Amino acid sequence: MVKTTLLFFLTAIAEIVGCFLPWLWLRKGMTAWLIVPAAASLALFVWLLTLHPAASGRVYAAYGGVYVLTALVWLRVVDGIKLTTWDWIGALVAMSGMLIIVTGWGKA
pLDDT of residue 94: 96
Average pLDDT for runs of 10 along the chain of length 108: 88 97 96 97 94 84 93 97 98 94 80
Q: Where are the alpha helices (DSSP H) in 29-55?
A: 35-49
pLDDT of residue 108: 60
Q: What is the pTM of this model?
A: 0.88
Q: Is the dihedral of CA 18, 23, 28, 30 positive or negative?
A: positive
pLDDT of residue 93: 97
